[in-house]
Amino acid sequence: MIPIPRVTIIPMTTPTRLTLTNISKRYPAVLANDAISMSVAAGQIHAVLGENGAGKSTLMKIIYGAVKHDSGLMRFDGEVVQIANPQAARALGISMVFQHFSLFDTLSVAENVWLGLDKSQSLKEVAAQITAKAAAYGLDIDPLRPVHTLAVGERQRVEIIRALLTNPKLLILDEPTSVLTPQAVEKLFVVLRQLAREGCTILYISHKLDEIRALCDSCTVLRGGRVTGECIPSEETNASLSRMMIGFEPKPLARSQVQTGESRLLIHNFSKPKSDPFGVDLNAINLDVRAGEVVGIAGVSGNGQKELLAAISTRQFNGRHFEHPSDKNTNHRLHIVPEERLGCGAVPSFSLADNLLLTRSEAVSKSFGRFGFDWISPAKLHAQATRIIEAFNVKAGSGKGSAALAQSLSGGNLQKFIVGREMDAKPEVLVVAQPTWGVDVGAAAQIRGELLTLRSEGCAVLVISDELDELFEVCDRLHVIAKGRLSPSINASQATPSLVGEWMSGLWNV
């Protein structure tokens, strides 16, 4: 039986900035928001918590005008408003940083930001403002870089800066710290608190419960599209917040003693020049991942993670293909979870079953007749996809299950499916980039537990993540990547956030 969370009424001592009254939104086969009511004061930092699929993103899109609600009222600064689109929202003073980015790949950073601003400013002026804001907030970005050359974390920085340049009255932030060092997170928090003191209201979505407790004044909890509780985060614990959000407290990870075997992924003194003017040169990379261990790579996004992952994906080191010692057919031995979900980890317009074909071949039977056709078994595909959906508790596209399109899933649920797809293959080498980005605490605990299970079964696991807490929790050894260089490894038990933060600046002894 799921315990009912307690409800704390938060007094509104300052003017109300945003009031939602019985907001509902229904999609085919699912009620995404069910009569949601919520009030947020001017200058308040208000958290919106909920498991993946709880209705958070739909609600935020309604506030921002990207989705039209079916019923209910919204008041902004005391006035009833009908926000027809994001342009109307920005005119009111509402800005949003989406978890799934809304950037044009072929345009530069400055051009993307300029599209959402007052056109009385020149592109050159906007570029200068971007540089100033980036320096002030510790979000390093080049305004002239084409977006298609940016890593996922760098794209998130663009979204944050674009929102801040509008000087919003209400700022919606969805997982804003996933690309930042611990030092940069603290700096961003200083900025957000200053914005709040100046009267800006902040709606803050994050699955990092420590952040919620440290930053937010108040909190609304959603479950199954309904409000199930309100609280003051600083008066809660991570355990109590977890129970309010998902109905239970995730169990601590069970770690067994490391018993490493042979080298499964060995890279020696590998260097590679950047493939585009805005990339990162890889310099003398040395990496050894052995059977039965989890090795982590920490670092601020844009320091060579993308290039290293590409090199591993193509198995190309110093002109020689990577091969597993006991099996030259590496397609069945090495599995990779990329950092970009849509377009790389999954084809948006394909069903979940069809997306299995990107990396799995169990449902493909080869014909050795005259034409050598490959035959695909839809029944096997759907059975495999259903197994993954059930094992990882994926809420799939309005109840359509394995037939749901990848683009219909929330970011966290798509992440769970992609990670589950690769883990389900029982790989001998698994490389995972940002394994729990955007997933709730329950799903994050499950994914991390599955990584340790693979480790205990003899898999060699490499985790590339911007989440230090995650790396400390699952890894046996850690590296840090900075400016295309890889630090020596350090036992995770000896690593500290301050040490890793220093190494993220390239300050390690060699």
Which of 4-18, 306-320, 404-418 is modeled with the greatest confidence? 404-418
In the predicted model, what is the mean pLDDT of residues 127-133?
Answer: 92
What CATH number corresponds to the domain at position 479? 3.40.50.300
Q: What is the mean pLDDT of the chain?
A: 84
> What does the pLDDT look like over 340-376, one tens digit per residue?
887 788 998 899 999 998 888 776 665 555 555 567 7
> What does the pLDDT look like over 117-128, one tens digit per residue?
777 889 999 999
In a domain, 345, yes or no: no
Residues 6+ apart with CB under 8 A from 333: 324, 327, 427, 428, 429
pLDDT of residue 452: 92
On whether both 173 and 57 belong to a single domain, the answer is yes
Lowest mean pLDDT among 9-18, 195-204, 388-397: 9-18
Which of 13-17, 60-64, 497-501 is modeled with the greatest confidence? 60-64
Q: How confident is the model at residue 288 (pLDDT cuts 50, 70, 90)?
A: very high
On whether both 303 and 239 belong to a single domain, the answer is no
Phi, psi of 174 (to 5 degrees): -110, 110
In a domain, 33, yes or no: yes
Largest CA distance in the chain: 79
DSSP per residue, 433-451 = ESTTTT--HHHHHHHHHHH
In a domain, 282, yes or no: yes
Contact 472, 459 (CB under 8 A): no
On whether both 69 and 198 belong to a single domain, the answer is yes
User: What number of residues does the chain have?
Assistant: 510
In a domain, 220, yes or no: yes
On whether both 173 and 242 belong to a single domain, the answer is yes
The stretches of 138-282 forming alpha helices (DSSP H) are: 152-164, 182-197, 209-215, 238-246
Contact 158, 189 (CB under 8 A): no
In a domain, 388, yes or no: no
On whether both 326 and 192 belong to a single domain, the answer is no
On whether both 300 and 186 belong to a single domain, the answer is no
pLDDT of residue 341: 80
Domain count along the chain: 2
- Please check the confidence at residue 13 and state whether its pLDDT lies above 70: no
The domain of 472 spans 263-333+427-503
Q: How confident is the model at residue 319 (pLDDT cuts 50, 70, 90)?
A: very low
On whether both 192 and 88 belong to a single domain, the answer is yes
On whether both 218 and 274 belong to a single domain, the answer is no
In the predicted model, what is the mean pLDDT of residues 203-215?
Answer: 90
Query: Which of 246, 277, 299 is at the close of a domain?
Result: 246
279 SS3 class: coil
In a domain, 431, yes or no: yes
In a domain, 251, yes or no: no
On whether both 70 and 187 belong to a single domain, the answer is yes
- Please check the confidence at residue 75 and state whether its pLDDT lies above 80: yes
Element (H, E) at 316: strand 316-317
In a domain, 473, yes or no: yes
- Please check the confidence at residue 317 and state whether its pLDDT lies above 70: no
Q: What percent of the chain has a predicted confidence (pLDDT) above 70?
A: 88
Lowest mean pLDDT among 160-164, 187-191, 209-213, 432-436: 187-191
On whether both 276 and 239 belong to a single domain, the answer is no
> What does the pLDDT look like over 153-198, one tens digit per residue?
788 788 888 888 888 999 999 878 765 666 667 777 888 898 899 8
On whether both 433 and 465 belong to a single domain, the answer is yes
Query: Which of 196, 221, 246 is at the close of a domain?
Result: 246
Query: Which of 178, 212, 246 is at the close of a domain?
Result: 246
On whether both 225 and 287 belong to a single domain, the answer is no
Q: What pairing do the DSSP bridges indicate for beta strands 334-337 and 320-321?
A: unpaired
State the burial class of residue 278 (Cβ atoms within 10 Å of its Cβ: 0-12, 13-18, 19+): middle
pLDDT of residue 6: 37
Q: How confident is the model at residue 510 (pLDDT cuts 50, 70, 90)?
A: low
